[in-house]
Amino acid sequence: MIHRLLIVAAMLAAPVTLHAQALQCAVPGEVPRVRPDLPSREQPRRVVLIGSYTLAISWSPQFCRSGAGDRPTSRFQCGEDNRFGFTLHGLWPDGVEKQWPQYCRPAQIVPARVIRAHLCATPSAQLQQHEWAKHGTCMAGYTPARYFARSTALYRRLRFPDMDALSRRSLTAGGLASAIAARNPGLAPEMMRITADRQGWLDEVWICLSKDFRYRRCPVHQGGLAPNADLRIWRGRR
């Protein structure tokens, strides 16, 4: 029987609101095998200068509620005894203009030890392979280990408000951004973009970063909801 190492990222003695990420995460002894993630006609190789970065974090209860949560690659995140709040989608290099670089060089398979080390941040081995292939390969001098160390460090320094309490009252996208900014020194609402599905359920938060990974005002073309847009938060099993 494979022994499992139980990692409780949200320490039980501390308030959950201080710990944004994994509420409970059990890392398996063996991680799933991944397949190569390659450019395609729809997602071609594109090499442009990096002008900034986006740190994308996903609201896991909504992801698991959607059809994507039923995929075999989502079993660790959605189908086991793990519980997640915000998870790390990825660290995305942005271009100087509207285009962004992607699939800049051939991508090696992410080593199992690297996947295992970051499963409680990005709880899908195949998503880790995708993020490295599409985004990490565009960061000069980066290996998979360095890419995920950088992105996970940026993710883990974030602190979040009481999402359960926010989910139980009227809320706008700007209201969520302000609540997150209040917990993170140096982060302002205009440095975030909030995304949602067509029914207005929270999907992701995109945090805009400079080339040296400092918080910055998001460009106008970044997208996301208008600050006054109504927003709902799916609580899931929280």
Which of 20-34, 152-166, 217-231 is predicted least confidently?
Answer: 20-34
The pLDDT assigned to 74 comes to 86
Q: What is the mean pLDDT of the chain?
A: 90
DSSP state of 71: S
Q: State pTM to two decimals.
A: 0.90
Backbone torsion region of residue 113, taken as left when φ is above 0, otherwise alpha when ψ lies between -120 and 50, otherwise beta: alpha
Question: pLDDT band at 24, cuts 50/70/90?
Answer: confident
Residue with tokens 């998001």: 218
Task: Determine phi and psi for 208, rounding to 5 degrees.
Answer: -90, 135
How would you label 20-29 residue by residue, b for 16+ Cβ within 10 Å and e otherwise? bbbbbbbbee
The pLDDT assigned to 167 comes to 96
Question: pLDDT band at 39, cuts 50/70/90?
Answer: very high
Handedness of CA 99, 39, 198, 182 (dihedral sign): negative
| Residue of 191, 224, 162 whose CA lies nearest to 53 | 191
* Model confidence at 12: pLDDT above 50: no
